[in-house]
Amino acid sequence: MARKMKLRTREQGGLVEVLVVVKHPMETGLRTDKATKKKIPAHFIQNVDLEHNGKVVATAHLGIGISESPLIGFRLKDGKPGDPVKVSWSDNKGESGSMEAVIEL
């Protein structure tokens, strides 16, 4: 299933901030469905990678304590307008996605 993503860049304190939102349920595996009384299986993003100019420059390892449809931010020192960035993610059920953009300030 392709999940919606939003990615944007902005200048923040002399750095380039890359912000991404992934529409994802982020289930902990600890909640119970009120109707069926069964546990809702864990389903959460595990890894998020940021590429800048084709090179992975940051990786975030996430767990179950992250909110639904998380907003994840990275800051780049050497980002310039027009540089390509790509954010990729994968979850514990084998789903993955990515989105590319160009730095705009």
73-95 confidence digits (pLDDT tens): 999 999 999 999 999 999 999 99
Place of tokens 């993503």: 5
The b/e string for 8-45 (b: 16+ C-beta within 10 A; e otherwise) is: ebeeeeeebbbebebebebbbeeeeeeeeeeeeebbbb
Q: Please tell me the distance from the alpha carbon of residue 17 to that of residue 92, in angstroms, as a whole number.
A: 27
1, pLDDT greater than 70:
no
User: Which pTM was predicted?
Assistant: 0.93
Please, which pLDDT band fits residue 105 given cuts at 50, 70 and 90? confident
What digits encode the pLDDT tens for the residues 2-59? Answer: 899 999 999 999 999 999 999 999 999 999 999 999 999 999 999 999 999 999 999 9
Give the pLDDT confidence score for residue 2 in this predicted structure. Answer: 85
Phi, psi of 4 (to 5 degrees): -70, 145
